[in-house]
A and B are shown apart, each in its own frame.
Chain A
Amino acid sequence: MMSSRTFSLLAPVTLGIIILGIWEGICRFWHIPPYLMPSPSAIWRALMLDGVALLHALLITLEITFAALIAAVVGGVLVAFLLVQSPLIERCLMPYVVIMQVTPIVAIAPLIIILIHNTPLALTACAALVAIFPVISNTLQGLRSVDPDLAAYFQMHKASRLQTLIRLRIPSALPMFMAGLRIATGLSLVGAIVAEFVAGTGGNSAGLAYQILQSGFQMDIPRMFAALFLITVAGLVLYAAAASLQRFALRHRP
């Protein structure tokens, strides 16, 4: 008998292979030109042919993604700690946090790119803006999700503010924070790519989004798919890494 884990891995992989097979078959049988719909084998050839350049572009995008993620986590946690200090601070600041969240990044990205001359920095700022909101809201909710009886226990034992923060509030906030971090990881990648699209920067420091744009201009659709494939793989790896980190950090909790 197959274990349920093996099955849950094997089933989607099998489905994927079947779909790729059908796709390949359709493209070959009807001789669909690659600029309309490239076959999986054509995409694979494009990936092999241009792999080094595409991987280089992927690394650039990932650099921006990680820088944005770190900025979003540090900034988001700081903002959450600030907000939780007093109801007054929260009243004053929260509307702006929400405004920031509801403004589409594509709408403010051009402004940020004009304001910040250093392109990688501008891209990082855009991506961080996309990713920061779940960090803020989750950390905030986490810092508030302290078990009231445990909080009373700390109060009864005359725990200082610092002791309560370190021994109670931060560990209590961890599950929510971790969920926020996982969302932010995915959003950082989305943000980085959206910002690259808007910036449209070429040259040596061009990320994957630029490669997609360029392939589009040149009608090199297989290469476009190859770049898309790399982004998807990167997204999956990031998601898996964040999920493992979350599981590890919360391994002792029910």
Chain B
Amino acid sequence: MSSPVLSLASIEKVFPNGVRGLSPVDLTVEKGDFVTLIGPSGCGKSTLLKLIANLHTPSGGKMNWWGGNFGDVGRKGRRMAFVFQDATLMPWATIAKNVRLPLDLEKVDRSTADKRALAALERVGLGHVTEHYPAQLSGGMKMRVSIARALVTEPDLLLMDEPFGALDEFTRNRLDEEMARLCYEDGLTTLFVTHALHEAAFLSSRVMVMAARPGRIHAEYEIDQSILRNEEFRLSDQFAGISRELAILLEDASRESMIQQEMRA
């Protein structure tokens, strides 16, 4: 068996101000996985993603990237991409230039970069707005651009931090279906953060339920990878069953987070 895309062993984070962001966390992401982190706010979901994205340094533990050192990210063609809660586009640049940004930063030549940017935009159904500016697009479209900017680098791991949290439910459902297609049909490996239970149930091949104070993984829940993630699934009893089981786990986790808080008070 090939080595996992990402593996974390006893990763911890204590912030300089003494706040314990994460107590030891173990997490493995295999190629083709869609792993979702869900939990009450403040349980360290963003912290965990930022550690993986190298925006924070862990206070302890070991992180491996394709079985090798974490310094190898970006080298040997193994890449990570990050999608934020907001689209985080450059308002002064056209959609094409926004999507091309990671390639421009790597000094990929102009015509190759343009071609790849257009291809990435077409993958999210936005091939026709290349010369528009972000202010001209709706929230859902901006989020698609943000996803295109992540896809353009052909990432081996896509990190998404509550990406659709600010969108209305219909737009969110459409984007969820699109993410499912990218992952289950095109084989994009994804680590996804959400606080929406139904989104986790719809998208994930594995859900990590987290608890807070200190942030930790409370439970792990597997969902059959072979399920077709479409509108039919969303309406099925199977989906309702998964959602119910996740709700119970999440309830458990938030109750534990509360108890910890009261014990400290």
Q: Among A156, A157, A163, A174, point to the contact of B92 (Cβ < 8 A).
A: A174
Contact, CB under 8 Å: B105 / A252: no
- Would you give the 0/1 interface string for B73-106, flagging 1 where the beta carbon is closer than 8 Å to chain A? 0100000101010101011110000000110111
Asked whether B91 lies within 8 Å of A252 as measured between CB atoms, the reply is yes
Chain A residue nearest to B81 in the complex (CB): A156
The answer for the CA separation of A151 and B114 in the assembled complex, in Å, is 23
Contact A159 B133 (CB under 8 A): no
User: A8 to B106, alpha carbons, bound, how many Å?
Assistant: 50
Q: Is A167 an interface residue (CB 8 A)?
A: yes
Q: Is the interface of B mostly helix, strand, loop or mixed?
A: loop
Asked if A157 and B102 sit within 8 Å, CB to CB, the answer is: yes
Interface residues of A in 142-170 (CB under 8 A from B): 147, 149-150, 152-159, 163, 167-168
Q: Which residue of B lies closest to A251 (CB)?
A: B133
Minimum CB–CB distance for A252 against chain B, Å: 4
**Is A31 interfacial (CB-CB < 8 Å)?**
no
Cβ A155 vs Cβ B55 within 8 A: yes
Q: Which residue of A lies closest to B161 (CB)?
A: A149
Are A153 and B92 in contact, with the CB atoms below 8 A? Answer: no
Given the known inter-chain contacts A156-B54, A163-B105, please indicate yes or no for A149 contacting B88, CB distance below 8 A.
Answer: yes
- A152-B55, A155-B55 in contact; A253/B105 too (CB < 8 A)? no
- Which residues on the B side are within 8 Å of A158 (C-beta)? 74, 105
The residue in chain B whose Cβ has the minimal distance to the Cβ of A252 is B133
- Contact between A154 and B105 (Cβ–Cβ < 8 Å)? yes
CA distance A16 to B88 in the complex (A): 47
Q: In this complex, what residue of B is CB-closest to A254?
A: B135
CB proximity of B127 to chain A, nearest CB, Å: 20
Judged by a CB distance under 8 angstroms, whether B197 is at the interface is: no
Are the C-beta atoms of B88 and A153 separated by less than 8 Å? yes
A25 within 8 A of B: no
**Residue pair A159, B90 in contact (C-beta under 8 Å):** no
Q: Across the interface, name the chain A residue whose C-beta is closest to B89.
A: A150
Residue contact B101 to A156, C-beta cutoff 8 Å: no
Q: How far in angstroms is the closest Cβ of chain A from B92? A: 5
Q: Are A150 and B92 in contact, CB atoms less than 8 angstroms apart?
A: no
Chain B residues whose C-beta falls within 8 Å of the C-beta of A163 in the assembled complex: 105
Inter-chain contact count A-B, CB under 8 Å? Answer: 50
Give the chain B neighbours of A253 by CB distance below 8 A: 91-92, 133, 135
Tell me the complex Cα distance, A117–B86, Å.
57
Give Cα distance in the complex from A76 to B102, angstroms: 32
Interface flags, B46-84, vs A, CB<8A=1, else 0: 000010011100000000000000000010000010101
Contact B92 A171 (CB under 8 A): yes
Chain A residues closer than 8 Å to B50, beta-carbon distance:
152
For A150, give its contact among B74, B88, B104, B106 (CB under 8 Å). B88
Contacts of B106 in A (CB 8 A): 157
Residues in chain B near residue A155, CB distance under 8 A: 55
Q: Across the two chains, which residue of chain A brings its CB closest to B86? A: A149
Question: In the complex the two chains form, is A171's CB within 8 Å of B86's CB?
Answer: no
Q: A171, B90: Cβ atoms under 8 Å?
A: yes
Task: Indicate which residue in B53, B134, B135 contacts A156 across the interface (CB closer than 8 Å).
Answer: B53
Q: Indicate if the CB atoms of A252 and B53 lie closer than 8 Å.
A: no
Q: How distant is A215 from chain B, measured CB to nearest CB, in Å?
A: 48
Chain A residues within an 8 Å CB radius of B135: 252-254
Chain A residue nearest in CB terms to B153: A157
Is there contact, CB below 8 Å, between B90 and A150? Answer: yes
Bound Cα distance from A174 to B91, whole angstroms: 11
Q: For chain B residues 98-145, which have a beta carbon within 8 Å of chain A?
A: 101-102, 104-106, 133-135
CB <8 Å contact, B101 and A167: yes
Enumerate chain A residues within 8 angstroms of B133, measured Cβ to Cβ: 252-253
- In whole angstroms, what is the CA distance A218 to B55 when docked? 72
Residue of A156, A159, A168, A252 near B82 (CB, 8 A) is: A156
What mask results when residues 174 to 201 of chain A are scored 1 for a CB within 8 Å of chain B, else 0?
A: 1000000000000000000000000000
A interface, CB within 8 angstroms of B: 147, 149-150, 152-159, 163, 167-168, 171, 174, 252-254
Seed contacts A149-B84, A163-B105; 14 additional CB < 8 Å A-B pairs: A152-B50, A152-B84, A153-B84, A153-B88, A156-B53, A156-B82, A167-B101, A168-B90, A171-B90, A171-B92, A252-B92, A252-B133, A254-B91, A254-B134
Closest 8 CB pairs of A and B: A252-B133, A254-B135, A149-B88, A171-B92, A149-B84, A253-B91, A157-B105, A159-B105
Chosen A-B contacts, 18 in total, with CB atoms closer than 8 Å, are: A149-B84, A149-B86, A149-B88, A150-B90, A152-B55, A152-B84, A156-B55, A157-B102, A157-B105, A167-B101, A167-B105, A171-B92, A171-B93, A252-B133, A252-B135, A254-B91, A254-B134, A254-B135
